[in-house]
Amino acid sequence: MRSGDWQMMPFFLAVARGGSLRAGAAMMNANHVTVDRNIQALETSYGVKLFTRSRRGFQLTTAGEALLPLAEEAERIFLGARRRVDGLDKSETGSIRFSVSPMMAFDVVAPILARFSTAYPDIDIEFRLTDRKEDINRAETDVSLRVAFEVNDDVVARKLYPIAIGTYASRTYLEDVVSKAEPGGAGICWLGWTGPRDNSSWLSQSPFPFAAVRHACDEAYMHLSLVRQGCGLSRLPVIYEHLYPELCQVPGTEPELSRTLWILLHSDLRRTVRVRRFVDFLAEGLGELQPKMQGALHRR
C-alpha cells in the first residue's frame, strides 16, 4: 500500500458505511466533490473499481469488499494509537472535539462552555453540532453529550439525570388559537417531523388527536423557533420556558420525565487531563441546571 493511500482510506470507509457520497461527506465533514475525488484516486492507485455507482448509491465491488475488513483493521490500529498517546497527555492544553445536538447547544451548553473557556483558556473546543449519533470508537468525536433512554456503546458513560419534556405554544397562539379550538384539538396545528418519526402514531396519542400537522422538519431547534413565532404546538424541554418568556405549557397537558442526559467519552481519554477537566466542568454546569431541566417535576 502506498503512503498516500492512507490519506484516502477514511473516505473509502465513510462511503462504504454510508452507502453514498452525501452520507460519506457528512461523516467526513467534507463536501461530496472531495470525497469522490479521493475515492477515484484510491481506485486509480489500486487499478480496480471499489464501488459500483448508481442512482441507489454506492455499492462495494468484489475488490471493495475484500479491502473493507483490511481498512477497518488499519483504522482500529491507528485510532487506538491516537487514543493511547492522547491518554498520556497531562497538560491543560490542546483541543477537544465535542458533539452535541443543536437543541442542547445554543441555549443550554453554550453558557457553560463560555465559563469553561475563561477557566481554561488553553483548551480549545471543536464543536460538532449534530443530532446524529457519532461514533466515539471510530474517533468521530472525543466527547459527546447525548439525550437517550440508555447507552449501550462500548464507551465511558456518565449518567446525569432525566430531562422533562412538555407541550408548548406561544402566549399569543394560546390566546388566538388554542383557546378557540374544538374538542380534540380541531383547529390547532402541531409541528410535524420528517424522517423516521411517524407523525400519525404520536398524534393519535396526544391530547389533540384531531389537530393538523404542518411545517414538518427534522430539527428540534427549528421546532422551538417556530413555536416562539406562534406557528403551532410542539413538545420541548421544559428549560426553555425559563429562557423564553413567550413560551407557555399548553393547558390540559403535563410535562413528563423523558430521556436522560449522558456525557460519553472513550475509555482511553478519561485520564487525559484536558478531557477530564472539560467533562467535569460540563457535568457540574449541567447539574446546576437540573431544577430548570426538570421543572415542577424536580420538586415532587
192 located within any domain: yes
> 82 and 13 share a domain?
yes
The candidate with the shortest Cα–Cα distance to 136, out of 269, 283, 280, 274, is: 269
- What is the residue range of 268's domain? 94-157+260-289
- 146 and 276 part of one domain: yes
How far is the CA of 233 from the CAs of 167, 170, 228, 256, in angstroms?
Answer: 7, 8, 10, 16
pLDDT at position 128 is 86
Q: Report the predicted TM-score, pTM, of the whole model to 2 decimal places.
A: 0.69
**What parts of the chain have a pLDDT lower than 70?**
1-4, 79-91, 133-139, 195-200, 296-300
For residue 300, being part of any structural domain is answered with no
Cα separations (Å) of 199 from 149, 193, 213, 258? 20, 6, 8, 18
The reported pLDDT for the residue numbered 85 is: 61
Same domain, 67 and 12: yes
Residue 120, in any domain of the structure = yes
Q: pLDDT by residue (tens digit) across 140-199?
A: 778 999 988 888 777 888 999 999 999 999 999 999 999 988 888 899 999 988 865 656
pLDDT at residue 262, rounded to an integer: 94
Asked if 179 and 147 sit in the same domain, the reply is no
In-domain check, residue 252: yes
Torsion angle of the four alpha carbons 182, 187, 189, 190, in this order, in degrees rounded to the nearest 10: 30
Question: 10 with 75, same domain?
Answer: yes
Q: Are residues 177 and 217 in the same domain?
A: yes
Residue 110 maps to which CATH number?
3.40.190.10
CATH code of the domain containing 8: 1.10.10.10
Domain boundary among 29, 64, 86: 86
Do 239 and 277 reside in the same domain of the chain? no
Q: Looking at the structure, tell me whether residues 211 and 226 fall in a common domain.
A: yes
Residues 20/27, Cβ–Cβ less than 8 Å: no
User: Is there a domain that residue 297 lies in?
Assistant: no
Domain count, the chain: 3
Q: Which residue, 47, 63, 86, sits at the end of a domain?
A: 86
- Residue 49 included in any domain: yes
Instruction: Pinpoint the alpha helices (H) of 133-271.
Output: 171-176, 199-204, 220-228, 240-243
Last residue of a domain, one of 86, 104, 123: 86
Contact 283, 157 (CB under 8 A): no
Please give the single-letter amino acid code of residue 135: D
> Rounded to whole angstroms, how far apart are CA atoms 24 and 131?
16
Whether residue 268 is found in the same domain as residue 153 = yes
131 and 69: one domain?
A: no
Whether residue 39 contacts residue 50, with contact meaning beta carbons closer than 8 Å, is answered with yes
- C-alpha cell recorded at residue 272: 487525559
Distance between CA atoms of residues 82 and 107, nearest Å: 33
290 contacts: CB under 8 Å, gap ≥ 6: 160, 161, 298
What pLDDT does residue 2 have? 54
Predicted local distance difference test score (pLDDT) of residue 157: 87
Give residue 70's pLDDT: 86
pLDDT value for 90: 61
Query: Do 196 and 242 belong together in one domain?
Result: yes
The confidence score (pLDDT) of residue 298 equals: 60
Q: One-letter amino acid identity for 47? A: G
Residue 299 lies in a domain: no
Q: What is the pLDDT of residue 198?
A: 59
The answer to the question of residue 298 being in a domain is: no
Same domain, 82 and 205: no
**52 by DSSP, 3-state: which?**
strand
Helices of type H across the chain: 3-18, 21-28, 32-46, 62-86, 102-104, 110-119, 171-176, 199-204, 220-228, 240-243, 273-288, 290-294
